[in-house]
Amino acid sequence: MAQDPPSISVFSAKKRSLVNDEVARLQVSWSRGFLVAYAFLSMSSLLSVQRNVLLDRARWMSPIFTWTNVLVFGCLTLYVLFPSLLSTRTLNRFYVVGMILAAAYLSPWHTGTDEMFDMALILFVCCRLPAVILCARTSLVFLCNLGFTVLTIYRASTEEMASEGTFASRYVILWTELTMCAVTVAFSFALLSVLTRKAELQVQGCNAETHFTAASTLLGLMCDAVVELDSNFCLTEHSKALAAVLLKSSNIQGASLMDFMPVDDADRAMQHFRALSGDAATVLAHAFHTRLVDSCSTKLETEVFQVKYTRMNGEQCHLVGLREFSDAKFGSAERPEDNTRCILPQVADSQVVNVRDEPSDGRKHGSMLEIDMAQRSIIAASGHLCNCVGMSIEDSRRRHGRCIFNICCTYSIHQN
């Protein structure tokens, strides 16, 4: 028989451990509310008894029944005062103690024979069924509820029951107890199955979010901006990096990526985006070239990296990386417009300049600056000049040397 490789077995064991821990965490979270609610219910029953005693009215609880209530209230109050007592390791202990106290209510010292059927139903609805949230194992639920069945059989065989045909008869009580035991065990199994499935989905969701973050980070190392598009190719969130590339100061969330492209390029890009098709569970990747248009109507050659995926709700989304590139050299006489993003007018409150620096390794890097000419300061920047925002031109020139020197030269030429 073929066996799984050790690495797969270890991975499956770790996944099962994560799921079990998440199930236990959910049980603890739900059990806290359950125990606090029962503490208030127990306190209200004791206050009712005390009120009847003070008003000299008939008591509806026997003395031993009342003292058992006091014991239950004391245990619940202890938890309310020290909630750290309930943890993933003590869940089963809380359940066993609760079932022992519940079984005590069904004993001959607390409940008479004629009240046995009513008390069994009350314990089933108010205690046995909802308390399964405290138990992490269905087998333990079966064993604890088996104690109720054994106690009921013992009392039915040793005590005088009502005549057949009534709810207090031996036949009805026994079959009712067997049914309640089976329903409780089935409910425990179903609840644990639901919690396990919920935990698996949460673990998968955390893993998917981690993978998405890792992919976005890796894509961000290669691109100037990384955005997420919905099925209509609109940005799901505002991207400061893309806004800086396009020289946009407003929020671009909800805007279509095609709105930042020329008409012809938008049509071709739409074809590329829609060309990917496959199974809903398949992640598809693609790359192509297009052009973006910034606020100065300058067309930027852009390389697009696209990853198409489907969310759990069936919505198709795109993770898109945008990287600006240019084949023209800085200072080229053939394409002088590549050096300046827009013509600087003689008088303006703010002006935008694109500086292309060509380092010694031959690679080209582009950076955009928006300069407030009145204040002689940089109000927006992208690329490796992002830390210049807020600086004066003089301070930026001292820090970044050649890049800011080129801007100042361009500024001086247009001023003259």
**Tens of pLDDT along 387-399?**
676 777 767 666 6
Cβ atoms 102, 123 nearer than 8 A: yes
Give CA–CA dist 101/297, Å, rounded. Answer: 78
Amino acid identity of residue 38, one-letter, is: Y
**Lowest-pLDDT range of 89-103, 111-125, 354-368:** 354-368
Provide, rounded to the nearest whole percent, the portion of the chain with pLDDT above 90: 15
Give CA–CA dist 67/70, Å, rounded. Answer: 5
**Lowest-pLDDT range of 46-60, 79-93, 112-126, 194-208:** 46-60
Give residue 368's pLDDT: 66
Give residue 294's pLDDT: 87
Cβ atoms 322, 229 nearer than 8 A: no
Q: Which residue has the higher pLDDT, 354 or 342?
A: 354
Q: CB within 8 A of 121, min separation 6: which ones? A: 176
Give CA–CA dist 311/413, Å, rounded. Answer: 53
Q: Which residue has the higher pLDDT, 99 or 396?
A: 99
Q: CB within 8 A of 283, min separation 6: which ones? A: 307, 308, 309
pLDDT tens digits, 263-275: 888 888 888 888 7
Mean pLDDT of all residues belonging to the chain: 77
Cβ atoms 68, 110 nearer than 8 A: yes
Give residue 398's pLDDT: 60
Give CA–CA dist 98/104, Å, rounded. Answer: 10
Region of 237 please: left (phi>0), alpha (psi -120 to 50) or beta: beta
Give CA–CA dist 412/382, Å, rounded. Answer: 22
Cβ atoms 88, 95 nearer than 8 A: no
DSSP codes joined into one string, 29-93: HHHHHHHHHHHHHHHHHHHHHHHHHHTTPPPSS-HHHHHHHHHHHHHHHHHHH-GGG--TTTHHH
Give CA–CA dist 321/103, Å, rounded. Answer: 64
pLDDT over 50 (residue 413): no
Give residue 250's pLDDT: 82
Cβ atoms 148, 106 nearer than 8 A: yes
Distances, alpha carbon 337 to alpha carbons 165, 166, 188, 299, 330, in Å: 101, 99, 73, 10, 10
Give residue 281's pLDDT: 52
Q: Region 179-208: what's the mean pLDDT?
A: 90
Q: Give start and end residues of each alpha helix (H) in 82-169.
A: 91-105, 116-123, 138-158
pLDDT over 90 (residue 223): no
Sort 241 into a burial class: Cβ within 10 Å, 0-12 / 13-18 / 19+.
Answer: middle
* Span between the terminal Cα atoms of the chain, in Å: 86
Give residue 97's pLDDT: 92
Q: Which residue has the higher pLDDT, 360 or 239?
A: 239
Token code pair at residue 356: 């292309």
Q: Region 239-249: what's the mean pLDDT?
A: 86
pLDDT tens digits, 281-330: 555 778 888 899 888 888 888 998 888 887 777 788 888 999 888 644 43
What's the pLDDT band for 187 if we cut at 50, 70, 90? very high
pLDDT over 70 (residue 9): no
- Beta-bridge partners for 256: 234
Q: CB within 8 A of 322, min separation 6: which ones? A: 223, 224, 225, 226, 227, 242, 245, 292, 302, 303, 304, 305
Sheet holding 225-229, edge to edge: 225-229, 316-324, 299-310, 284-293
Q: Domains in the chain, ordered, with CATH? A: 12-203 (no CATH), 225-324 (3.30.450.20), 339-415 (no CATH)
Q: Region 84-90: what's the mean pLDDT?
A: 88
Give residue 386's pLDDT: 64
Backbone φ, ψ for residue 380 (5° rounding): -155, 145
What's the pTM?
0.58
Q: Which residue has the higher pLDDT, 121 or 281?
A: 121
pLDDT over 60 (residue 363): no
Length of the chain, in residues: 416
Q: Region 179-203: what's the mean pLDDT?
A: 91
Using alpha carbons, select from 84, 106, 103, 107 the residue that is nearest to residue 95: 103
pLDDT tens digits, 25-61: 889 988 998 899 888 988 888 888 888 878 877 777 7
Q: Give start and end residues of each alpha helix (H) in 159-239.
A: 170-222
Give CA–CA dist 95/134, Å, rounded. Answer: 5
Distances, alpha carbon 78 to alpha carbons 36, 46, 82, 102, 117, in Å: 11, 16, 6, 18, 31
What's the pLDDT band for 192 if we cut at 50, 70, 90? very high
Give residue 366's pLDDT: 56
Cβ atoms 121, 177 nearer than 8 A: no
pLDDT over 70 (residue 360): no
